[in-house]
Homo-oligomer: A and B are copies of this chain.
Amino acid sequence: MRQYEMAELSFRGPEPEGKATDVKLTGTFTLSGKTMTVPGFYAGNGTYKVRFYPTEAGICTYKVEGAVTGEGTETVEPAASHGMVKAVGTHFEYEDGTRFDPFGTTIYALVHQEKALVEETLKTLSTAPFNKVRMCVFPKDYSYNKNEPPYYPFAKKADGSWDVTAPNPEFFDNLEDKIVKLGDMGIEVDLILFHPYDRWGFASMPQRDNLVYLDYLMKRLAAFPNIWWSLSNEYDFTPKKTQKDWEEIEQAVHDLDPYHHLESCHNGFHYWDATRPNITHSSLQVKSLAVVAHERARTKKPVMIDECCYEGNLNQSWGAISGEEMTARFWQAVAQGGYCTHGETFLDPDTKDEDSAVVYWAKGGKLIGKSPERIAWLRNIVESLPGPIDPQTGRFGNFCDLTDKQLDAFIDQVPEQHKFFFGSMRRLTEYEKGILRAGEYNYAGQVGEKAYFWYLYRQTSARYEILLPENHTYKVEVLDTWKMTRTTFAEHASGSVQVRLPGKEYMAVLATIEE
């Protein structure tokens, strides 16, 4: 056993007499004086497994009871990896305290493709800049997605409905194989437990079946370090589940996972309430990024824009943003102390067979867009910063997000001649605020007093004033986020600095403290 790696105890035994999901099996693990009992599961073909996730190094004794039995003692070696990712404040860290800055991508039906395509996808990911993948447990039926999956998760009943009490070992082995391979590349799996795009019946199973499915899934997967739970893709677009069903699913996931992996729920229109205690972070679908700082402040949890449209050329607007815009959305999120997720949707416009086309966002394959190398460049900059990014406050644009009381407090401390101007913001209607917020937003972040940055998006200033603390000196760089160039503009700078810019779109300014 090794700290932060899934440990598996495997036993041969007789086929279960009743339902496979009713098998009674537990493992009790004692490590460094702490004891934890976790459920095992029937893995098919006369094999029973108990999986355990050791969070410490040391001596571990275990006892397996139920359908099979066993006991033993093993040494848990010290970690060779960082462990599970946890939400810490509005950011993420691995269990060992290492910062984790998610740069995600989307391959909804990755595990439901033929072997050769999956291998090509894994090869793509091995050199891509992404350290998180959003993907679904269930197969997907949607535009450009009509293929049958190689495996189904359950056996079928005589009436054609799914028998969730008879999980298909091949399906889960395949899923786990991909989770492990992604983990080996340092990629977190943001596993989508339900989604609405379905022709097989997985989206409309009775709630009792949903809970049986979750129970079995958690027994198999909860001990993998690189798993995140996403309750759903576009939960609110799912006709057969009520708000109460979703809340029950949310609670079940929390209760069934002994390790409490990250847990979120992705919206279509209406955001899932990320202030709910079981929810660790926001997983938003939005097409204007001006929400990140606001949602961070409101929820006090990390904010991930898990769907911001996809770089591509589809007919649909959600699948047809430019490489420039995809890159920009990452910068916008990052500059507000949030995170963004990529996806790519290129389709040969001459194709006669849309359903069989390989569109990356669902099936994987190759990346051909212009944003991934620029996202890599951004990731490199972010990871070189001395800490996680928080939004700069007190600048125009974010004011729309202030409560009346916060606005009053702000106005109290501005110079007399500016009070009327800011005060006139009190008259804004919610509609007007929505328009103002989206149209003129301030994408500016900071790492304490150690680094500041300003992402100008499409602002084409040729001279741009930044304000730095007077009590430190900074190196000021001009970043062309499209051409991926960094140019030093000034050293030993502090206070107000008039930065010269080339007067074009997609520029940023970075100021880092000189120690």
Complex: A349 Cα to B463 Cα, angstroms: 6
* Min C-beta distance of A187 to chain B, whole Å: 27
Inter-subunit contact B434/A286 (CB<8 Å) = no
Complex: A290 Cα to B437 Cα, angstroms: 12
Inter-subunit contact B440/A313 (CB<8 Å) = no
Inter-subunit contact A434/B430 (CB<8 Å) = yes
Cβ-closest chain B residue relative to A457 = B317
Inter-subunit contact A322/B425 (CB<8 Å) = no
Residue from the list B420, B464, B500 in contact with A237, Cβ < 8 A:
B420
Complex: A437 Cα to B463 Cα, angstroms: 32
Whether A504 sits at the interface, judged by CB under 8 Å, is yes
* Min C-beta distance of A476 to chain B, whole Å: 15
Inter-subunit contact A437/B436 (CB<8 Å) = no
Contacts of A268 in B (CB 8 A): 421, 424
Residue from the list B421, B430, B437, B464 in contact with A315, Cβ < 8 A:
B464
Whether A413 sits at the interface, judged by CB under 8 Å, is no
Inter-subunit contact A320/B431 (CB<8 Å) = no
Inter-subunit contact A427/B269 (CB<8 Å) = yes
Contacts of A325 in B (CB 8 A): 458
Cβ-closest chain B residue relative to A422 = B269
Instruction: Provide the A460-481 mask, 1 if CB < 8 A to any CB of B, else 0.
Output: 1111110000000000000000
Instruction: Provide the A251-288 mask, 1 if CB < 8 A to any CB of B, else 0.
Output: 00000000000000000111100000000000000111
Whether A439 sits at the interface, judged by CB under 8 Å, is yes
Tell me the chain A residues, 432-446 only, with Cβ under 8 Å from chain B: 432-440
Known: A270-B429, A459-B317, A503-B313. A434 touches B424 (CB 8 A): no
Residue from the list B349, B434, B498 in contact with A437, Cβ < 8 A:
B434
Whether A291 sits at the interface, judged by CB under 8 Å, is yes
Whether A302 sits at the interface, judged by CB under 8 Å, is no
Residue from the list B269, B431, B500 in contact with A436, Cβ < 8 A:
B269
Complex: A157 Cα to B291 Cα, angstroms: 53
* Min C-beta distance of A422 to chain B, whole Å: 10
* Min C-beta distance of A240 to chain B, whole Å: 9
Tell me the chain A residues, 315-333 only, with Cβ under 8 Å from chain B: 315-318, 320-322, 324-325
Known: A322-B504, A459-B321. A236 touches B438 (CB 8 A): no
Known: A236-B427, A424-B268, A428-B269. A439 touches B440 (CB 8 A): no
Inter-subunit contact A237/B433 (CB<8 Å) = no
Contacts of A420 in B (CB 8 A): 237, 239
Interface centre among A324, A462, A500 (most CB of B within 10 A): A462
Cβ-closest chain B residue relative to A498 = B315
* Min C-beta distance of A117 to chain B, whole Å: 22
Complex: A465 Cα to B143 Cα, angstroms: 14
Inter-subunit contact A271/B462 (CB<8 Å) = no
Inter-subunit contact B236/A459 (CB<8 Å) = no
Whether A347 sits at the interface, judged by CB under 8 Å, is yes
Inter-subunit contact B438/A288 (CB<8 Å) = yes
Complex: A420 Cα to B503 Cα, angstroms: 46
Binding site for B on A (CB under 8 A): 236-237, 239, 268-271, 286-288, 290-291, 312-318, 320-322, 324-325, 347, 349, 396-397, 420-421, 424-425, 427-440, 458-465, 498, 500, 503-505
18 of the cross-chain contacts (CB-CB < 8 Å) are A237-B421, A269-B424, A269-B428, A269-B432, A270-B424, A286-B435, A286-B439, A288-B436, A313-B463, A314-B461, A314-B463, A315-B464, A317-B397, A320-B503, A321-B458, A322-B458, A324-B505, A349-B500
